[in-house]
Structure 1
Amino acid sequence: MTQKFLAIFLLAFGLFSAQQEAYYQQYAKYKMNIEVDAANFAYHGKQEIQYTNNSPDELSVVYFHLYWNAFKPCSMMDQRVQNQGKNADGRLAENGVSRLSTIPKDEEGSQKINWIKQNGKDLKFEVQETIMKVYLNEKIKPNSTTTFTMDWDSVVPKQIRRSGRNNREGIDMTMTQWYPKIAEYDYDGWATFDYVGREFHAPFADFDVTIKIDKDYVIGAGGILENPSEVKGYTENPDIKTDKDNKATWKFTAKNMLDFAWAADKDYSVESFVVPDGPKVFFVYQKSEKTRYWEEAKPYITKYFQIMNNTFGRYVYPTYSFVQGGDGGMEYGMCTMILGESRSLEGLLGLMIHEGSHSWFQQMLATNESTKPWLDEGFTSYAESYVMYQLFPKPNEANPFINSLKGYAYFAKSGREEPASWLADHHDNGTAYSVASYTKGELFLVELGYIMGEETLSKVMKKYYQDWHLKHPSDRDFMHIAQQISGMDLKWFYHYWINTTKTIDYAIKDVKYGDTYTTITLVNNSDVPMPIDFNVLTKDNKTINYHIPLNMMRSPKKTDFYGNFQTLDYWNWTAKEYTFSIPYKKDELKVIGIDFSQRLADVNPENNTLEVK
């Protein structure tokens, strides 16, 4: 090996090694002082941020999110809603007209930055609606920390989407994505997506938040309330200390969270209970006949946290708050904002459990929702379906995900499907976004359970949490674990399911009965190749299971929940048909079919089963 070639080899190897070791995550520490003018739905804020650059890059600029600047006529969010027309989110538009376009001037959201300093020196900045670009006087070197101080004024917007004043259930202030928040920086650069309605991303951070607000208000928040005896709602006889303006001071702390959210209302009631070996849970809501199911929900929420801890990994934070507010349901660090009025206990719990499950896949496993919404929304929906099936068993349903499978099949055949790989805010159709991110993301795991077996999938989910909680994993990190534990090559499935809108459609094409055996021919009528579970129900009600692995898997599955099965020869993905024989004659057979478990996301399942007559 020549010296020149050796040098090139070592350089290349070094770069490759560095890429393998490249994971890092930034960190921030916020200290905020907030003075609320409740009568005018406004507040004045000051904050100090200690920002640590753990990346190998020297940073000459930083970016902040100013989400509330979206809530006004002619904003990018307003433009997006208007351009989508009838396909716009129903919460953002009425009869095809953007609700943002009619916000009165005195109810527009705003975050006016008065100044920002780095280590005490003024910085130049420019505001690009919901993104603020800050030019640094001192570059932030790798593995170093700098301190930013800021002063700003904000107006709480009319409640349109998630944040805002006077939501439709009468909550005074929902304070979410409410402060200038430093953007995430990682291997892909700064995460500076404009806010036009959907997802968020941020570095992990510690929070020390002091809020001054009229003494009659009660606050529900994600974090630890450090002075419960000095404020309304959390103790029986609080010693409320007020300042000259008759305001009480609330002090919250939180560690290792992506954000800090809170809501305030004079009519909130606060109830709490402790999950055995779990968090202390707070219900903060307006008690009335319309919210009567909150009390009944408590034992179910206890079971929920226990199931989640056992199935997906342990909830790491000390508390969790369900807070009435917002416009539907939206997850934040250690809390969720949800509409509290519900027509049924199961309806309320479905919302609570979906939003609560984001604590695993949006908070603790903090993927970039803006670029990979399915990795959060879909996995969260999977957890919701799984837990709700445990809490409210449906004996007549084949599995916990049957409704999602049916909904997907119906929409896939409509011709309106869009790939799950699209950026969250860039789907043209609101329903297509929901199916791509929520439904197909959920079914990504359902199909993996079908491909590798449920026991193996369970190991994958636990390993994913074990390796990546309180970090920022990507889909590649998840796939690495899935392939490692299953021993399978799964890249083909990822490609078809996430990057395309191709569908699964298998069928029984032909059955020939012999004297001692039956020969069956299956056909792939569509574009996505899959392994096939084939099941036989005999006349004496015994079920016989066969597994036909796909050649691209390279390894068949070893176990599944339905018990023993016989593994047949591989089905080459290039072959449209597959023929095999089973040692049963016609008068021994009752029903034969593809996937009795009904986990295969087949868009035409009606031709999968044959009753033998």
Structure 2
Amino acid sequence: MKKWVSLVGCSLLFLTWMLPVNAEEGTALTRKPLYQADVRIDPIKKEVAGTVTITFWPKDPTRAYLHLYPNVFTEEHQGMLWEELLGNGPTLGTYTNKKLLVDGIAVASKQTKDLNIFEVPLEGQTGPRTIVMEFEMTLPRNDGRMSYDDHSLWLGNWLPVLAVYDKEGWHLDPYEPVGDPFYSENADYEVNVTLPKEYQLASTAPDMAAKQVSTREGEKRIQLGAENVRDFALVVMDASYQRTETKVGETVVRTWWRKTDDPETAEQIHEAAAKSLAYFHHQLGAYPYTEYDVVRTGGAINGMEYPALVFLDGRHFFSGEETGIVTVVHETAHQWFYGLLGNNQVKEAWLDEGFTEYVTLSYLSQQDPLLGAERVRRRLGQGTSVQYYVAEEQRPWQALSAFPNNQSYSDLVYSRTSSMLWLLQGAWGEERVHDVLKQYVEKYRYQVVTGKEWGAFLSEMAGEDAGAFLDYWLKVDMSQQEQAAAWLERQRLKHQKK
């Protein structure tokens, strides 16, 4: 996400999922969860109701945990960060779990102390398990990722999603009001949506290929499917929305905007989305999805990334606004860093936000040298002036809960990390840095990468241990400043000799 403060065939699918494999990586990709949802959306009442079935291979045989993010917005939250996220006068939503089954048998669920975490008992059989949950929700109204206005409702992080269980155990982090408090693994989705006929829809799935069937009078049912995605978001829009389309390779880029928006500004945003997608496709590796939607929402989230779909709030679509270009480029870059290459955004936000901002700077510097140079200057200024953060023991490599405000999050996660990579580009040259990033994305495509793994990968590519360099930039260890500078100089000289 780009904050304002930071510079501006089910059966076939199931059979494939069930095939046994031997390689560890192949097992992870083959045994990814399958989410099958059937929901009804009422854009007038702002209600969503339905059932989700999750078929998965549990790593903990005794229990599973689900993130129920909408539940967070059924209670009031206090504090500056919540006020910045939710805006003025937010209204609460509702969320009800009407039924919970495990392998067809009703079970007693358990709400943990955190509103977004729901415990599901799994005692019994081994092998693949199935959770069925029936739910009803009324949308909250706020400035965030899941809300509505008079012309649309946008659903980000709305479906129940499995919490991650990895080598560290369960990740059951609370919903933080700073950054993007999400950590999820790739899955396949089949989502059937019933809504009034006069409404339009954009989602993570390839909507143009979606099958539509009539239900009762005045409604339509859209059958959506998406493979190898980290989440599933959608936007329901009324007739005030129109779209602009451009084909980029095998991907159709669609920008959705309202008739009351400035057409020239909307066209500029669309052009930036298409051009940057083509650029990142070439620089970072193939983009695998056949559609990419940029959707104008309400609220004030600025920009928010989801697989094959991003939100841009309406302030970007005013006449004379230039913020939309930078924001849509940043969100497009997230299709690689977060989308194709996952990470724990709660514990290591720099792994997606910092890398995303670096390649955003690279694109802008090529496309608009004056704009690019100004943004590089600002990022370097913020990323290298860290005396205050040293005194406060703040660093990029820390959990979201450790950031006291959005400014520190922006300066450290966005600016310091992108500054580190920009200086590496100065030593290696852009071509080599981007070639290394392309190899990095390819190695961990559709998986989750950790900061430790990035450090090992960088050291391998550099031909020497990069520990001091990373400790100085990401942990703000000032005792490593000279060693980090010396490492960078050795890399510069080594590259020059080639």
TM-score, structure 2 length as denominator? Answer: 0.85
Question: Higher Cα Rg: structure 1 or 2?
Answer: 1
Question: What amino acid sits opposite 1:131 in the alignment?
Answer: I
Is 1:322 aligned with 2:258? no
- Name the counterpart of 1:529: 482
Instruction: Choose the corresponding residue for 1:65, options 64, 67, 88.
Output: 67
Q: Deviations over 1:271-299 (max 9, x none)?
A: 32211x24111112213343532223444
Shift of 1:531: 6.2
Query: Are 1:386 and 1:400, in contact at CA under 8 Å, matched by a contact in 2?
Result: no
Question: Any residues of structure 2 matched to 1:27-176 within 5 Å, and which?
Answer: 27-53=32-58, 57-74=59-76, 78-79=77-78, 82=79, 85=80, 90-92=84-86, 99=89, 103=91, 108-128=92-112, 129-138=115-124, 141=126, 144-166=127-149, 170-176=150-156
Shift of 1:494: 1.2
- Name the counterpart of 1:403: 378
Question: What amino acid sits opposite 1:528 in the alignment?
Answer: Q
**Rounded Cα–Cα distance in structure 1 between residues aligned with 2:245 and 2:372:** 35
- Name the counterpart of 1:391: 367
**Rounded Cα–Cα distance in structure 2 between residues aligned with 1:318 and 1:396:** 29
Question: What amino acid sits opposite 2:105 in the alignment?
Answer: K
- Name the counterpart of 1:369: 345
- Name the counterpart of 1:209: 191
Assess, with a 3 A threshold, how the Cα gap between structure 1 residues 177 and 431 changes in structure 2: closer, same or farther.
Answer: same
Structure with higher RCO (Cα < 8 A, 6+ apart): 2
Question: What amino acid sits opposite 2:141 in the alignment?
Answer: K
Is 1:333 aligned with 2:307? yes
**Rounded Cα–Cα distance in structure 1 between residues aligned with 2:69 and 2:268:** 35
Question: Any residues of structure 2 matched to 1:240-389 within 5 Å, and which?
Answer: 241-244=214-217, 246-266=218-238, 267-275=240-248, 277-325=249-297, 326-327=299-300, 328-340=302-314, 341-344=317-320, 346-389=322-365
Q: Deviations over 1:5-59 (max 9, x none)?
A: xxxxxxxxxxxxxxx9999576211111111233221121112111124xxx442
TM-score, structure 1 length as denominator? Answer: 0.70
SS of 1:292's equivalent in the other structure is helix
**Rounded Cα–Cα distance in structure 2 between residues aligned with 1:185 and 1:557:** 43
Gaps of 5+ in 1: 1-19, 231-239, 503-525, 533-548, 566-613
Assess, with a 3 A threshold, how the Cα gap between structure 1 residues 229 and 109 changes in structure 2: closer, same or farther.
Answer: same
Shift of 1:368: 1.0
Assess, with a 3 A threshold, how the Cα gap between structure 1 residues 396 and 93 changes in structure 2: closer, same or farther.
Answer: closer
RMSD: 2.9
Is 1:469 aligned with 2:441? no
Assess, with a 3 A threshold, how the Cα gap between structure 1 residues 28 and 486 changes in structure 2: closer, same or farther.
Answer: same
**Rounded Cα–Cα distance in structure 2 between residues aligned with 1:222 and 1:191:** 25
Shift of 1:111: 2.5
Question: What amino acid sits opposite 1:193 in the alignment?
Answer: D
Question: What amino acid sits opposite 1:315 in the alignment?
Answer: Y
Assess, with a 3 A threshold, how the Cα gap between structure 1 residues 395 and 333 changes in structure 2: closer, same or farther.
Answer: closer
Q: Deviations over 1:63-109 (max 9, x none)?
A: 111111111444xxx14xx2xx4x66634355xxxx55xx3xxxx22
**Rounded Cα–Cα distance in structure 2 between residues aligned with 1:384 and 1:122:** 48
Assess, with a 3 A threshold, how the Cα gap between structure 1 residues 482 and 248 changes in structure 2: closer, same or farther.
Answer: same
**Rounded Cα–Cα distance in structure 2 between residues aligned with 1:282 and 1:396:** 25
Query: Are 1:451 and 1:531, in contact at CA under 8 Å, matched by a contact in 2?
Result: no
Question: Any residues of structure 2 matched to 1:587-602 within 5 Å, and which?
Answer: none
Question: What amino acid sits opposite 1:357 in the alignment?
Answer: A
Query: Are 1:31 and 1:209, in contact at CA under 8 Å, matched by a contact in 2?
Result: yes
More strand by share: 1
Assess, with a 3 A threshold, how the Cα gap between structure 1 residues 268 and 501 changes in structure 2: closer, same or farther.
Answer: farther
More helix by share: 2
- Name the counterpart of 1:190: 170
Q: Give the aligned length.
A: 464
Query: Are 1:455 and 1:559, in contact at CA under 8 Å, matched by a contact in 2?
Result: no
